[in-house]
Copies of this chain bind each other. A is one copy, B any other.
Amino acid sequence: MKYTELDRELLEKEFECVKKEFDALKEKGLRLDMSRGKPSAEQISLSDGMLSVINGEDCVSGSNDYRNYGIVDGIPEAKKLFADLMECENDEIIVCGNSSLNIMYDTLMRAMVFGIDGNSTPWGKLDKVKFLCPVPGYDRHFRICEKLGIEMINVDMTPTGPDMDTVEKLVSEDESIKGIWCVPKYSNPDGITFSDETVKRFASLRPAARDFRIFWDNAYCVHDLYDTPDTLTNLLKECKKAGNDDLPYIFASTSKISYPGSGVAVIVSSKNNIARIKDQISTQTIGHDKINQLRHVKFFRNVEGIMVQMKKQADIMRPKFEVVVNTLEREFSENTIAEWTKPNGGYFVSVNLLDGCAKRTVKLCAEAGVKLTDAGATFPYGIDPRDRNIRIAPTYPSLEEMKGAIEIFCVCVKLASLEKLLNK
């Protein structure tokens, strides 16, 4: 059945039918949550060996005692592990605390107060600062900009990454555009990995603003669901080749490798940028949690150890993603009122509905006991211009819950679409 080709009478009939289904679901009084990209308890338990992996003696390394003050850029063992993971040099990385969001926020706060490079005006002193925001994107990126009064400009995502024609045009023309947010691998929420060409075009940008930076949130760098993962070209290396060494700020964390909230986060950038940031951070703190850094090194040992962990994570997550995608396929492959992504990794499935149906669907789901991310959350200022995008986060509920939740979602999508088509 293809709603968009039905006449009014058939639509009304279908509406009655779906409405009944919805009411029945509502009566069940379920409480399911597909709203946030949180790992499940089962995933988190994979790291519990880490909780007792070190003792006091382990913390002493040569003249350093990691239990004491100091070492603002991270313990050498952690720098090695994460430099290997991020494919960068030892002097191109700082291993920080528990949150890459925190690093991003702090990076922007420093830009506001001190400026990007010591030679340019602090953004807080400028009349206007703008950021490009590929959409749909990550709500917490947008929230930082909104709080800082940074004007956000939507740029469409394509299957190969942001629309680079638009990106190149805008950054070369407008000096007030100071940055762009990217989640380059398994993007939030589309699950798109930027193509080699897209990364190279990023590396070769010629921004009008000399203090323009690419905020490259590589949150899902090793978060593959399948044995044939997407691959992402190394932006740092490409920037060097293009003579644009200082252009990228790259962020990552183990929040979805080990523990969300008790992981380790890193910033990667040019040697110059890292030296400046290290100096700035040394006013902010005497050092991050080095014991937790060591805990991660002892538990994972090396990149191979991380990849083994990620395969275990994938084994838990994959069935949930497949339930979502297969159910959507079953319900909507012919009835073209929804389009969705089939990501090879990351934490989300992104669904586009008929224009104007996202908010209503989220509301209907809530009534039926399924919590979704707010419609609009994937756009700056919470405004989805077409009110059609919904982000589904399949990881946190159990597989059984996920099955139930996505069935309800499909019913709600149908109901919202029918309401729209019938102008109800």
Which residues on A are within 8 Å of B, measured CB to CB?
Answer: 36, 38-39, 41, 44-45, 47-48, 51-52, 54-56, 60, 65-70, 97-99, 101-102, 105-106, 109, 112-114, 122, 124-125, 140, 143-144, 147-148, 255, 259-262, 280, 283-292
Find out whether the CB atom of A69 lies under 8 angstroms from the CB atom of B112: no
Q: Identify which of B45, B102, B285 contacts A56 (C-beta below 8 A).
A: B45
Distance in Å: Cβ of A322 to nearest Cβ of chain B: 23
Which B residues are CB-close (under 8 A) to A102? 284-285
With A113-B113, A124-B124 already in contact, the answer to whether A67 and B54 are too (CB < 8 A) is: no
Interface centre among A38, A39, A67 (most CB of B within 10 A): A67
Q: How far is the CA of A144 from the CA of B195 in the complex (A)?
A: 42
Find out whether the CB atom of A36 lies under 8 angstroms from the CB atom of B261: no
Q: How far is the CA of A259 from the CA of B39 in the complex (A)?
A: 29
Find out whether the CB atom of A67 lies under 8 angstroms from the CB atom of B44: yes
6 closest A-B pairs (Cβ-Cβ)? Answer: A48-B56, A262-B291, A52-B52, A69-B260, A105-B284, A102-B285
Which B residues are CB-close (under 8 A) to A67? 44, 47, 259-262
Which B residues are CB-close (under 8 A) to A259? 67-68, 291
Who on chain B is nearest to A69 by CB? B260
Q: Identify which of B48, B112, B148 contacts A55 (C-beta below 8 A).
A: B48
Interface centre among A113, A114, A124, A148 (most CB of B within 10 A): A113
Interface centre among A45, A97, A284 (most CB of B within 10 A): A284
**16 sampled A-B residue pairs with Cβ under 8 A:** A36-B69, A38-B68, A39-B68, A41-B60, A41-B68, A44-B56, A45-B56, A97-B289, A99-B286, A99-B287, A101-B285, A101-B286, A109-B109, A113-B113, A147-B280, A261-B287
Distance in Å: Cβ of A317 to nearest Cβ of chain B: 15
Find out whether the CB atom of A124 lies under 8 angstroms from the CB atom of B112: yes
Interface centre among A44, A68, A98, A286 (most CB of B within 10 A): A68
Distance in Å: Cβ of A122 to nearest Cβ of chain B: 8
Which B residues are CB-close (under 8 A) to A140? 283, 286
Which B residues are CB-close (under 8 A) to A41? 60, 65, 68
Who on chain B is nearest to A287 by CB? B261
With A38-B69, A113-B113 already in contact, the answer to whether A101 and B284 are too (CB < 8 A) is: yes
For the complex with contacts A66-B261, A69-B260, A144-B283, 12 further pairs of A-B residues with Cβ separation under 8 Å are: A39-B68, A68-B259, A68-B260, A97-B97, A102-B285, A109-B113, A147-B280, A261-B291, A262-B290, A262-B292, A289-B289, A292-B292
Q: How far is the CA of A114 from the CA of B69 in the complex (A)?
A: 31
Which B residues are CB-close (under 8 A) to A52? 51-52, 55
Which B residues are CB-close (under 8 A) to A99? 285-287
Distance in Å: Cβ of A374 to nearest Cβ of chain B: 15
Who on chain B is nearest to A260 by CB? B69
Q: How far is the CA of A38 from the CA of B105 in the complex (A)?
A: 30
Find out whether the CB atom of A51 lies under 8 angstroms from the CB atom of B55: yes
Distance in Å: Cβ of A263 to nearest Cβ of chain B: 9
Q: Identify which of B44, B70, B283 contacts A147 (C-beta below 8 A).
A: B283
Find out whether the CB atom of A261 lies under 8 angstroms from the CB atom of B68: yes
Interface centre among A38, A70, A144, A262 (most CB of B within 10 A): A262
Q: How far is the CA of A182 from the CA of B56 in the complex (A)?
A: 34
Q: How far is the CA of A271 from the CA of B66 in the complex (A)?
A: 36
Distance in Å: Cβ of A133 to nearest Cβ of chain B: 16
Which B residues are CB-close (under 8 A) to A147? 114, 280, 283
Q: How far is the CA of A416 from the CA of B58 in the complex (A)?
A: 43
Distance in Å: Cβ of A47 to nearest Cβ of chain B: 8
